[in-house]
Structure 1
Amino acid sequence: MADDAEKPSRDYRETVFLPETPFPMRAGLPQKEPQILARWSEADLYHAMRAERRRAGAPLFVLHDGPPYANGAIHIGHALQKTLKDFVVRSRFLLGYDVDFVPGWDCHGLPIEWKIEEELRAKGRRKDEVSKAEFRQRCREYAAHWIDVQREGFKRLGVIGDWENRYATMDFASEAAIVAEFHKFVASGQLYRGSKPVMWSPVERTALADAEVEYHDHVSPTIWVKFPVTEGSDAARGASVVIWTTTPWTIPANRAISYNPDVAYSVYEVEAMEEGLAFEPWAKPGDRLIVADKLVADVMAAAKVARHRKVEAVDCQGMECEHPLAGLDSHYGFGVPLLAGDHVTDDAGTGFVHTAPGHGADDYQVWLAHGHREIPDTVDPDGAYYPHVALFGGLKVLETEGKKAGKFGPANDAVIGKLIEAGRLLARGRLEHSYPHSWRSKAPVIFRNTPQWFIRMDEPVDTEALGDRTLRETALEAIEATTFYPPQGKNRIRSMVESRPDWLISRQRAWGAPLAMFVDKETGQPLHDPEVDRRIIEAIRAEGADAWFNRPATDFLGSHDPDRYEKVEDILDVWFDSGSTHAFTLENRANTRWPADLYLEGSDQHRGWFQSSLLESSGTRGRAPYDSILTHGFVMDEHGEKMSKSKGNVVDPERVIGESGAEIIRLWTAMIDYSDDCRIGKTILQTTSDAYRKLRNTVRYMLGALADYAPDEAVELAEMPPLERFILHRLWELDGQVRAAYEAYAFQDVIRPVLDFCQEDLSALFFDVRRDSLYCDRPDALRRRAARTVMDAVFERITAWLSPLIPFTMEEAWLTRYPDAGSNCLRVIPDTPAEWRDDAEAARWAKVQKATSVVTGALEVERREKRLGAALEAAPRVHVADADLLAAFEGLDPAEVFRTSQATLVAGDGPAGAFRLPEVPGVAVEPLKAEGRKCARSWRILPEVGQDPRYPDLSLRDADAVAAWDAAHGKVTA
């Protein structure tokens, strides 16, 4: 402790009050966290927290869990989302709420069905060789397995909730509730069956909603096709209207050509072709073509026309053409009218749009708008032309089996070949463009006319929920009444709801809740009989949705004639399933309420769960099932790239937990701006671990310094030294920030200010300045007691403030100090007295720390030049020109503030050679050496060392402290 030249007469180490704590520096989180989880489980922590809050009459807060899909182990996106939800649950408990959170799972739908089909194929079995009952049972077992796996993964992250009463959309009671919600739409008249083109996945053999479609680049064949004019002006007769399309396979379904009355069209005659071509072009001199004036150059270039002339402008109204395949088969002998449509532009193509009403939304709308009702059926559910399609029956548009599944079949080439044979192909090419794909199978989809069930968005129905409003109007009003975090989420979901088509809710699959209804074969209308509905719901509640598929219709119809009714065996869109979860988790359950305070999911759920819940609830209850929505971004790698196994940049949460602990994932989640896409990787996790160590060491130091602290040594505010009053002021300031941040779900605004407080106000200031007092003052010294009183207040608050974010560590710290006090998680945030606010003290210490930074800089130079060793060898003379800054040191010991043995403050500018910092004008430091002897106990160098004859190698303060220690321990002082 002292150097050999001044070897002390006694070893004083036993008299120094060094921090003592069993709280280890190394966390060992992978081993420690499971122990804490076991303790929480034994204490039934979540229900204990709810019971304690209800006893206190706490207000209720409801977070409804958006169900993850039960088809795999948890990934880092799951970890982010469930951790955020746990932050909400724990922080609301901390703020004094009674929090209802029931975790749930989405179990129906195509991904699981697809997986079971793969398993069957691996065993040499086809889906159609398996009974629906067996197939659905396999799906149920698959989902149940992954629910168990994911539940354990979420619990390992420290997520608390009502795990024992979790919900799943495949539970019998859930399926019954989903069907009951569906029946409400049937009864209200909002449901209808329509035959219209919808996104169809031939590979998955089902219709898809917009939310189930994603777009990828795809290379398509492009063709320019001639439709000979049969009716029109004299100039138009003998000419051909030219269309351009990227879907040659839809030509057999063509029934019209759309044009825009505001676009200028003309007849153009081909005069000469390009020379030296490696092939014979399909255009010939003398051909007359009708195209938009703005696009004629593009069309002629595609057709390899070297020279052309304009014959005259044409009016397309009333014009009719011949189908380009009419010459090959009389099936195509119908007329092809030109129909005006606003969707047509002259930005690309030819200025005309080939219109196949069974294969496009715009095509369908313009066909209906002109009074046509019959929609041709061209392509079957397996992506092949129906047998009745002349020339092409049975040909595949999309392959659905084998290695080519998901690839375009021979249909495109076959159609192009027949157009060449008919002499109607003008040109062909290829185009890379964005094309719709199923987000599950990743296979291309097609627009296909199919009979489906829809919920009306724009037709008002007279119901209690809607009144005289449409579903769209009701949903938009509900959006306006909802609070969004971040606020821009409101515009996003509103724009989607404003433009979405009628809600397609039927799917032609096996694994899901059924559209459990009967349809009158004569009228096509659903049967609405409350007794029939009751029997259906009771059967599903007892046996699950399988009852609908397994039982005969007579079990439900009662006195109704079964021959008159069609039993619908489509399943509901899984978004309808998950959109109905509020009905069976928030209603008719004890200790909760409808609507929820908050829904929390990824930003993609504006088009998914948020929207389906909004529409389902608006249609049945007239408002959203939530008061607020919080969204988070996607998790990218640390370079901002999407994670993929092929890139090797996937972060596995289970691996992170095994190596570093769940607390590191939680701290990362707390530190990021989750509202935007966020990054994670090895370097980022290392930075997070470094921050964790700083927090842990701060807590560890407090635990050590507070060893044997008793309330009777507490110091009243009026007796507190200035530094302690400043730290109490910071606690008051942080208390307001933390409460406000938790209320606004701004978790980053909790952890970062607390981290800064720990590093800057505690470690770098309070602990550093008070270390000498804590170690060396006698236990009853006011300064030491005041420091420990404040440290006790800091510990009480930090362990509460951070308990929602890093609950394992805060629990360990709390139980280290109070092993019999019960879980730290049961606490509410401590009240912080208003009288702790001290703006004057805050202003003082801002000035003091500026001056201190100059002293520190001066001593660093002296150490670097080896003119000084430790700071305790110094006695800086500090010149302060600013009177206000000098006054800030009133009542302070500058040596204590500067962490030196001695120090003096002098008014004035100081000598020219003194050390200065440009950013702190008016402060100059002479880094002088301390004079006197080194105290063998505190290591301070003071002239007074040796003045107490009992302890000749100690300062007077240390001599007094040792004398008190000796007396307390029965030692006789010489």
Structure 2
Amino acid sequence: MTEQRDFRPTVFLPKTDFPMKAGLPQKEPVILQRWQDEGIYRKLRESRKGREKFILHDGPPYANGDMHIGHALNHILKDMVCRTQTLLGKDAPYVPGWDCHGLPIEWKVEEEYRKKKKNKDEVPPKEFRAECRAYAQKWVDVQREQLKRLGINGDWDNPYLTMDSQAEGTIVRELLKFAESGQLYRGAKPVMWSPVEKTALAEAEVEYEDIVSTQVDVAFEIVESPIPELVGAYAVIWTTTPWTIPVNQALAYGPDIEYVAYRDLATDKVLLVAHVLELQDEIFKRLMADRASTGLNIVWVGKGSDLAGTICRHPMHALGGFFAKPRPMLPGDFVTTDSGTGLVHMAPDHGEDDFALCKAHGIEPVFAVQGDGKYREDWGWLGGQGSVINPKFNAPDGPICEALREAGGLLAASADYKHSYPHSWRSKAKVIYRCTPQWFVPMDRAIDPSTTSPAAGGPPPRSGEVLEGTAKTPPRNGEGDQPQAGGGVTLRTLALKAIADTRFVPEKGRNRIGAMVEGRPDWVLSRQRAWGVPITLFVDRKTGQYLNDPEVNARIVAAVMAGGVDAWDEEHAQEYLGENYKLDDYERVTDILDVWFDSGSTHAFVLESGRWPDLQWPANLYLEGSDQHRGWFQSSLLESCATRGRAPYDVVLTHGFTMDQKGMKMSKSLGNTISPIDLMRDYGADILRLWALSVDFTEDHRIGKEILQGVADQYRKLRNTYRYLLGALDGFTEDERLPVAEMPELEQYMLGLLGKLDATLRQAVDDFDYNTYVRALTDFCNEDLSAFFFDIRKDCLYCDAPSDPKRRAYRTVLDTLFHALVRYGAPVLVFTAEEVWQSRFPGSDSVHLLEWPDVPAVTVEEARWSELRALRQTVNEAIEPLRREKVLGSGLEAVVTVPDSAPDADLAELFITATVNRGQGSDVTVTRSTDHKCGRCWRLLPEVSEDGDLCDRCDEVVAQIDAGAAA
């Protein structure tokens, strides 16, 4: 027997240097450096110059600490937006930015002071602000490098910073637009206050945590009433903030609630409470149980409205002064019987409902609690004591309860009430409602439409948008009291209209922000801190009105533009006032602005200033986490509506929060945080990007080692698809290309599927649905290519002659697929796509300068091919048991019988089997072929005389190869 020839050298196997092992952590920094050296961002801007713009305005992250997983997800999504819009041929610049002012940074600098036993108040303000600026700049630089490492393409050399003097000047200019249009007032109202940080807080700066508080029932003796039975009785209130009792000024009842007065036979006291009390107030229920042995008698039953004119006295009335004043019972629509006694004690200093009800009846705040949470030194009860947020201070055996107990006013107290309570998200300390003089933007004051028109310095409204209604002209000088709604257009109505005109992705964001705007109080602008943009106003010492002079305002804006926030000082005050005003007549406001006003004004600084000429106003898109419905989305909306009459964005896209693998919120205390920096070191940025764009980011989502391992497997399959294409296209030239019309049906079918994928991906880009984008791309590569098309055509690729039309058609389609898939994948796997592109076209321009591929329009019979693919699956399932039982070595040895009704096609080629026959039955059957195996292509064919010999096709191809070698 003659020795068989080894035909392996005659097989056209794929050839590529592109490695299967990615080595992303090592390769990515090299690619990133190349992009930086080549100025890829600027090249991209030049290549898209004059095209339709797509503007994503970056919501500024805080310059405070390393990038965390939420930062990574957020910026990967933003990069995906800009890259996909750029791929579509648009000019989609990305200017990153940072929020640099405010309490988080100031708090960190103060922490360093405290470590050094250094008193912040003894440091000159300019020096302190310089340290805050340096701290912010340090973290801007750190985060910038971390975000660049993610492959985010942007203008990193020229980001925007809210602490830039021009930004600060723009923020001041925006503030003074509010002042000039009468949309500012100073008033004393309860606001969220942090006793630890000694400043007012916005709702967006507050988080809620469960705590256990002391709950008390306190008795207020009734001294006057139109109901004789109630004189000498005690109105019982329930509260979880005993510290507010020393500031009580009234009691509230629900006009429609039924009340009852019980006589407690043990003490002979008559107690007034809501009639449903026994179902609601747990500690009062326990009190009643204690009295069960002696019994209770009903003295009076009636409606809350019957209590009008009833007067109580404070349990500590014996102290005289403030505490001896009458405590009227007032009707409150907000009073319910959901909890407590149905009677609510009113401290206008420490509650919004309290403030409004008391003010309506001429009762003013007393400002007893100071900024540090202690009572004023001159306060008749507990003067100089506190802090009011200290649990021990409020405990049943603490000074407040002890004094009430001694005075006979404390009916019951227990430290067991669990509830949700607001905390500062920076210091994590409890906050309180505290009435202080603050600066507000009114939500319900009528606005002169001319102040939000182009003449007011803002862009024109949307086409067809008209500010309806009549509005009173606001006063030239700011008012010193809370405004009342005056009819016509208000900031609230403008904002709600803008919400209706904005597209929200997901749609539920519209209701979320809409409900917040609809019910929100006036915007508290002022903070009592040092690191921020000052409220650059002068207030008339006699009238309390702020000076509203455009010339003064212009001088202030120019000074801050040139010198930053330090320009607002006493030294230059008279210079700003000019010759027409005397500094002695005016108070220079020293409060700073809420940082949400800073970030809410970035659209003016970044999109309108001309400093970034690639940008324009308004933005097409704002993209942040869902918490920004109460933060940046809302502050930007209010700022822009007040000054420009519309939102600064057309679309708002929100993402959820990243949880750990078990669905738990990540926190340092739990030790379940995952660092994106560590992930990039271990896996590479492309794996992190693939994870971020694979999850349903519009909801809360998860990350963990097992999840990332699944993402890494997904990445390997995509990489393998690119690797196969590179190998299979080795040596491909334009001379080999075949027209679509001359291609076999399978190739035309694959081009049809590519066209379908193309439409899916385009729609996903329009919908910002990147989960669908990645899934469709991955499924196409895995199911349509690797498991189907590549599998079927490997025989053609390996064994057909290079000139064979079928092989040429296959390679032509592979080239089309390569150019499409590398572009589709580039916004997701930014580094890998570059590596793939340069592997095939070394030294060429970056893949990221390319545009969306042109895909041939091919119509195919989808129903027929779906039937064929389903039949192929059935055949594979029938072959698999025979392979396991070693009856078949592979499908190439199988003889398959299919129903006669199966669609016409080269079924043996499609199923990768030896032979396919048609039978009369409906089942698929499989047997082993008795034919011999070709020594080159391994197919079992009748024409092969014995195993190892060549089939007719291979014999011809080998002869051509041998002839070529001989020549």
| TM-score in terms of structure 2 length | 0.93
Is structure 2 residue 859 aligned with structure 1 residue 837? yes
Is structure 2 residue 892 aligned with structure 1 residue 904? no
Q: Structure 2: how far apart are the matches of 1:131 and 1:628?
A: 44
1:85 is matched by which residue type in structure 2?
K
Contact 1:848 1:889 in 2 (8 A): no
After superposition, give the CA deviation of every residue in 1:429-483 in whole Å (9 maximum; x if it has no partner): 2312211111111101111110000000001032424553000000000000000
Residues 356 and 704 of structure 1: CA distance in aligned 2, closer, same or farther (over 3 Å): same
Q: How does 1:561-640 map to 2 (within 5 A)?
A: 561-589=582-610, 590-640=613-663
Aligned-pair CA distance for 1:411: 11
Aligned-pair CA distance for 1:420: 1.8
Aligned-pair CA distance for 1:952: 8.8
After superposition, give the CA deviation of every residue in 1:99-123 in whole Å (9 maximum; x if it has no partner): 1221000011111111001101111
Q: Structure 1: how far apart are the matches of 2:826 and 2:617?
A: 28
Is structure 2 residue 222 aligned with structure 1 residue 222? no
* Aligned counterpart, 1:739: 762
Q: Structure 2: how far apart are the matches of 1:203 and 1:568?
A: 23
Residues 288 and 408 of structure 1: CA distance in aligned 2, closer, same or farther (over 3 Å): closer
Contact 1:398 1:407 in 2 (8 A): no
Is structure 2 residue 37 aligned with structure 1 residue 42? yes
Q: Structure 2: how far apart are the matches of 1:779 and 1:533?
A: 78
After superposition, give the CA deviation of every residue in 1:363-396 in whole Å (9 maximum; x if it has no partner): 00111222x1522111011111012210211001
Q: Secondary structure at the match of 2:317?
A: coil
Contact 2:93 2:615 in 1 (8 A): yes
Q: Structure 2: how far apart are the matches of 1:412 and 1:547?
A: 51
1:730 is matched by which residue type in structure 2?
L
* Aligned counterpart, 1:88: 81
Q: Secondary structure at the match of 1:164?
A: coil
Is structure 2 residue 142 aligned with structure 1 residue 149? yes
Q: How does 1:864-943 map to 2 (within 5 A)?
A: 864-874=884-894, 876-881=895-900, 883=901, 885=902, 888-890=903-905, 892=906, 894-900=907-913, 902-909=914-921, 922-932=922-932, 934-943=933-942
- Report the more deviating stretch, 205-214 or 632-641: 205-214
Q: Secondary structure at the match of 1:338?
A: strand
Q: Secondary structure at the match of 1:630?
A: strand
Contact 1:714 1:789 in 2 (8 A): yes
Contact 1:223 1:428 in 2 (8 A): yes
* Aligned counterpart, 1:491: 511
- Report the more deviating stretch, 201-210 or 643-652: 643-652
* Aligned counterpart, 2:955: 959
Q: Secondary structure at the match of 1:60?
A: coil
Q: How does 1:265-280 map to 2 (within 5 A)?
A: 265-272=259-266
Q: Structure 1: how far apart are the matches of 2:92 and 2:330?
A: 59
- Report the more deviating stretch, 505-514 or 645-654: 645-654
Q: Percent of aligned pairs with the same residue?
A: 51
Aligned-pair CA distance for 1:712: 1.3
Aligned-pair CA distance for 1:784: 0.6
Is structure 2 residue 966 aligned with structure 1 residue 970? yes
Q: How many residues align?
A: 919
Is structure 2 residue 272 aligned with structure 1 residue 290? yes
Residues 721 and 828 of structure 1: CA distance in aligned 2, closer, same or farther (over 3 Å): same
Determine which of 500, 504, 524 is the counterpart of 1:480.
Answer: 500
Aligned-pair CA distance for 1:408: 5.2
Is structure 2 residue 396 aligned with structure 1 residue 396? no
- Report the more deviating stretch, 236-245 or 186-195: 236-245
After superposition, give the CA deviation of every residue in 1:635-682 in whole Å (9 maximum; x if it has no partner): 001110011233232111111111110000111111110000010000
* Aligned counterpart, 2:527: 507
2:859 is matched by which residue type in structure 1?
R
Q: Secondary structure at the match of 2:276?
A: helix
Contact 1:169 1:581 in 2 (8 A): yes
Is structure 2 residue 310 aligned with structure 1 residue 310? no
* Aligned counterpart, 2:476: none
Q: Structure 2: how far apart are the matches of 1:408 and 1:633?
A: 39
Is structure 2 residue 436 aligned with structure 1 residue 450? yes
Q: Secondary structure at the match of 1:14?
A: helix
2:833 is matched by which residue type in structure 1?
M
| TM-score in terms of structure 1 length | 0.92
Contact 1:247 1:412 in 2 (8 A): no
Q: Secondary structure at the match of 1:327?
A: helix
2:230 is matched by which residue type in structure 1?
A
* Aligned counterpart, 2:543: 523
2:867 is matched by which residue type in structure 1?
K
* Aligned counterpart, 2:351: 360
1:960 is matched by which residue type in structure 2?
E
Q: Structure 1: how far apart are the matches of 2:85 and 2:571?
A: 47
After superposition, give the CA deviation of every residue in 1:697-735 in whole Å (9 maximum; x if it has no partner): 011011001001011111112211111111011011111
1:310 is matched by which residue type in structure 2?
I
Aligned-pair CA distance for 1:843: 2.5
* Aligned counterpart, 1:651: 674
Residues 693 and 229 of structure 1: CA distance in aligned 2, closer, same or farther (over 3 Å): same
After superposition, give the CA deviation of every residue in 1:24-68 in whole Å (9 maximum; x if it has no partner): 1111111111111112112211221121111xx420110000000
Q: Structure 1: how far apart are the matches of 2:787 and 2:667?
A: 42
Q: Structure 2: how far apart are the matches of 1:832 and 1:338?
A: 77
Determine which of 816, 819, 840 is the counterpart of 2:842.
Answer: 819
Q: Secondary structure at the match of 1:926?
A: strand
Q: Structure 1: how far apart are the matches of 2:247 and 2:686?
A: 60
* Aligned counterpart, 1:279: none
Contact 1:71 1:143 in 2 (8 A): yes
Contact 2:931 2:944 in 1 (8 A): no
Q: Secondary structure at the match of 1:98?
A: coil
1:59 is matched by which residue type in structure 2?
E
Contact 1:188 1:463 in 2 (8 A): no
After superposition, give the CA deviation of every residue in 1:535-589 in whole Å (9 maximum; x if it has no partner): 2112211221011136342232112101010011111000000000000100032
Residues 889 and 187 of structure 1: CA distance in aligned 2, closer, same or farther (over 3 Å): same
Q: Which runs of 5+ in 2 are unaligned?
A: 453-466, 472-488
**Structure 1 consecutive aligned stretches of length 4 or more whose deviation exceeds 3 Å:** 296-301, 328-331, 406-412, 465-468, 549-552
Aligned-pair CA distance for 1:486: 0.4
After superposition, give the CA deviation of every residue in 1:241-265 in whole Å (9 maximum; x if it has no partner): 1112111111121111111111122
Determine which of 804, 810, 821 is the counterpart of 2:827.
Answer: 804
Aligned-pair CA distance for 1:847: 1.7
RMSD of equivalent CA atoms:
1.8
1:476 is matched by which residue type in structure 2?
L
Determine which of 546, 552, 566 is the counterpart of 1:532.
Answer: 552
Is structure 2 residue 95 aligned with structure 1 residue 102? yes
Q: How does 1:672-751 map to 2 (within 5 A)?
A: 672-751=695-774
1:510 is matched by which residue type in structure 2?
A
Q: Structure 2: how far apart are the matches of 1:43 and 1:171?
A: 28
Q: How does 1:758-797 map to 2 (within 5 A)?
A: 758-797=781-820
2:920 is matched by which residue type in structure 1?
G
Q: Structure 1: how far apart are the matches of 2:30 and 2:339?
A: 66
1:211 is matched by which residue type in structure 2?
A
* Aligned counterpart, 2:873: 853
Q: Structure 1: how far apart are the matches of 2:732 and 2:393?
A: 77
Contact 1:458 1:471 in 2 (8 A): yes
Q: Secondary structure at the match of 1:427?
A: strand
Q: Secondary structure at the match of 1:812?
A: helix
